[in-house]
Amino acid sequence: MRHQKSELFPGSVVSSIFGSVASVALVVAVLGGALGCAPPSDPPVADSSPVPAEPARLPVSLNDVMAALVNHAADPIWIAAWHDPETDEEWRDLERHAYQLELAGALLEMPGTGPMDDEWASNPEWLRWARDLRSASELAVAAIEARDQSTISSAGDRIVEVCEGCHFEFKPDMPTGGKFGEISPNAADLEDDEE
Ligand code: HEC
């Protein structure tokens, strides 16, 4: 029986389990202190060397922002330039997309998880394109709210210039994440829909 027991609980495993339990207890004690579980008679001491805050970082790569948000939100605005929304619901949807594009411009000012993101988001030229995307989209939001087709169209033109300008300067030949966005629909696609 002794023999069996020592096979079931070999000394090294037992001691390493106890070792882990001991370190978990230590971590809990330390965290407990840090989280303010110390008795009130023991006021927290101001930390003279604060840990520097991590810069705000998106949970996805900028390539994902591009394929999932920028591209997706821009298409309906370009479509609207030659094909006015017909119902109130379509107008509201278009307005949401324009807001999404404006927000996407703001997101592009932050690095995400992509290999080039830190470099891009700290480059002043990149930041200028991102802000241009925001302001062109803001123009689109206002034009859509006013249901002003010619301004929607010129905001759409401005947006294209911003996409192309930034791609010309920064976009690698192959997307870093290996993700391709969908190709923007063109007038011919829309005619097919209507047939
Ligand atoms: C601030 C710069 C910038 C702006 C503005 C910008 N892009 Fe991008 N875009 C990039 C970069 C850089 C990549 C490649 C990212 C990578 O590979 O990690 C990219 C990738 C893409 C992709 C991924 C698929 C592909 O072809 O590689 C699509 C789709 C895309 N952009 C569409 C757009 C559209 C549409 C707009 C305008 C509404 C736009 N982008 C505006 C910089 C920008």
pLDDT of residue 143: 97
- What does the alpha-carbon distance between residue 133 and residue 75 come to, in Å, rounded to a whole number? 14
- The residue length of the chain stands at 195
* Start-end of H helices in the chain: 2-8, 11-34, 62-65, 71-82, 88-107, 117-121, 124-145, 149-170, 187-194
Question: pTM to 2 decimals?
Answer: 0.72
Model confidence at 87: pLDDT above 60? yes
User: Ligand 1: which residues within 6 Å by Cβ?
Assistant: 61-63, 66-67, 70-71, 74, 108, 114, 116, 126, 129-130, 133, 159, 162-163, 166-167, 170-172, 175-177, 180-181
**99-118 pLDDT, tens digit each:** 999 999 999 999 999 999 99
* Ligand 1 mean position, distance from CA 55 (Å): 22
Query: Which amino acid is present at 160?
Result: V
Query: Ligand 1: which atom is nearest the Cα of residue 171?
Result: 12
Model confidence at 84: pLDDT above 80? yes
Confidence of residue 26 (pLDDT cuts 50, 70, 90): very low
Model confidence at 89: pLDDT above 60? yes
Least confident span in 28-32, 74-78, 101-105, 118-122: 28-32
DSSP 8-state assignment for residue 61: -
pLDDT of residue 96: 98
In the chain the domains, ranked by start, together with CATH numbers, are 1-52 (no CATH), 62-194 (1.20.120.10)
Mean pLDDT over 175-182 rounds to: 60
Model confidence at 170: pLDDT above 90? yes
- What does the alpha-carbon distance between residue 129 and residue 162 come to, in Å, rounded to a whole number? 6
Model confidence at 41: pLDDT above 50? yes
Model confidence at 122: pLDDT above 90? yes
CB count within 10 Å of CB 144 equals 26
Q: Which of 66, 160, 174 to mutate to test the pocket of ligand 1 (most atoms within 8 A of CB)?
A: 66
Average pLDDT of the residues of the chain: 78
Confidence of residue 51 (pLDDT cuts 50, 70, 90): confident
